[in-house]
């Protein structure tokens, strides 16, 4: 039996869900973007799968380890659960062609602007690609979305929940 396909929202992490203050890997230093948690809940409530796709070259640069990224994502998931929201999967790419740590020094099909994190999720989950979007804050995010066949939308700041509502329900007045 084939699973029902659902639309998905792919969120970039740094600069979209949380403030991009350099290489964020500590829970005490993560600052949520205004409305970020509520944006995830809005997507959940609308029946969307929710994914996070994030380049984490800080691992390759030796600033932190992969377990720090995983621990931060677990903490983010717990924070979201506190308001009844969830992320279906967190994907990250620790690789960088100029890495100081040799095992991470490579060109990766998962590092945005390459679409690998997105296409890996498309293989694992029943995603309706035509109704799915990626929200990112950089051109590389949108390039990855385009390469995966997903519509990319640039988020340039403000309240993320209002932004997501305006994308999901374009005709509604969201009261800015």
Query: Can 20 be counted among the known catalytic residues?
Result: no
The span from the CA of 36 to the CA of 170, in Å, is 19
Q: Which residues contact 81 (CB under 8 A, 6 or more apart)?
A: none
65 is catalytic: no
Quickly list DSSP for 15-84: TTTB---SS---GGG--BPTTHHHHHHHHHHTT-EEEEEEE-HHHHTTSS-HHHHHHHHHHHHHHHHTTT
CA distance 131 to 114: 21
Per-residue tokens: 116: 């690998």
10 membership: H or E segment, kind and range: strand 8-11
Q: What distance in Å separates the CA atoms of residue 157 and residue 110, rounded to the nearest whole number?
A: 25
For the stretch 96-124, what's the b/e string if a residue is b when 16 or more beta carbons lie within 10 angstroms of its beta carbon? Answer: beebeeeebeeebebbbebbbbbbbbbee
Catalytic residue among 12, 88, 137, 141: 12
The catalytic residue positions are 12, 14
């Amino acid at each position: 039996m084939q699973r029902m396909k659902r639309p998905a929202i792919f969120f970039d992490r740094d600069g979209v869900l949380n403030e991009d203050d350099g290489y964020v890997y500590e829970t005490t230093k993560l600052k949520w973007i205004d409305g970020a948690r509520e944006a995830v809940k809005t997507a959940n409530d609308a029946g969307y799968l929710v994914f996070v796709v994030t380049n984490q070259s800080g691992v390759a640069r030796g600033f932190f380890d992969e377990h720090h990224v995983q621990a931060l994502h677990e903490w983010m998931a717990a924070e979201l659960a506190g308001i009844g929201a969830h992320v279906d999967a967190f994907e990250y790419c620790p690789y960088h062609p100029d890495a100081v740590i040799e095992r991470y020094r490579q060109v990766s099909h998962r590092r945005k602007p390459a679409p690998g994190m997105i296409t890996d999720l498309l293989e694992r989950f029943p995603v309706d690609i035509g109704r799915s979007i990626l929200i990112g804050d950089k051109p590389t995010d949108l390039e990855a979305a385009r390469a995966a066949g997903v519509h990319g939308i640039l988020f340039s700041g403000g309240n993320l929940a209002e932004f997501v509502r305006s994308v999901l329900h374009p005709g509604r007045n969201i009261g800015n």
